[in-house]
Amino acid sequence: MARFTDKIVVVTGAAQGIGRRVAERVADEGGKLALIDRSDLADEVAAGIRAKGGEAIFIAADLEQWDGAQKAMTEAVEAYGRIDILINNVGGTIWTKPFEHYAPEEIQAEVQRSLFPTLWCCRAALPTMLERESGVIVNVSSIATRSLNRVPYAAAKGGVNAITASLAWEVAERGVRVVASAPGGTEAPARAIPRHPGEQDAQEQAWYQQIIDQTVQSSLMKRYGTLDEQAGAILFLASDDASYITGLTLPVGGGDLG
């Protein structure tokens, strides 16, 4: 397939995991990529794509802040002239524990990590899409909006779902589609950059095991998904194959609807 031939595709959080796999598969289908991350590991991903004959640049930015998101989208447009597709992939649980054990600053950090990058990037990319009356935004949410030991993360991803539905309504008649994928548990290589700022003690490990058990139990298929199963859904939503779909959050959790 070559669904993204000559499309300008921005992927945030492209250093590892789902974001990296999405970027690699977009390149395989002819897309020209801007990979945004605050880690230089995304520069290695871009270099790997170029080594295979693809086109990709790396833009370093902290997307938890408006200035970082605005800078990143501006640089992408300066490099390629436009943004056809924005895939908002930044986010992820930092801590996993019952809500009463979260400190206020941890709650704020979870929301800052998993809501604001999507909110800011949508706002930063939207004007150039509306000016051209063309564009697709794919937000990466989570089925963990209904799960154990992740209330602040669930709140953030619930916000991503709300952004998707409300923004889609605003811009559908102006040529822009807004959709979301909600991944379930996903098998991936060990993270090069851990989300958790320190070592987990025995209690924290037990709480984390609870979310693993719940994720498998909630899936009708009783397993985690693969990176390609998650990337495939995201790429479908981003492609013209989904041209009559907007405002939708698609659960990709083996039957777990979140």
Catalytic residues: 153
Sign of CA dihedral 159, 10, 79, 125: negative
Euclidean distance between CA atoms 184 and 256, whole angstroms: 7
Euclidean distance between CA atoms 35 and 43, whole angstroms: 8
- What is the crossing angle of helices 227-238 and 17-28, to 10°? 60
Q: Could you give the count of Cα atoms lying within 13 Å of 34 in the half-sphere of its Cβ?
A: 28
Helix (H) or strand (E) holding 26: helix 17-28
Euclidean distance between CA atoms 233 and 181, whole angstroms: 7
Instruction: Give, as one character, the DSSP assignment of residue 6.
Output: T
CB atoms closer than 10 angstroms to residue 183 = 26
Contact 219, 255 (CB under 8 A): yes
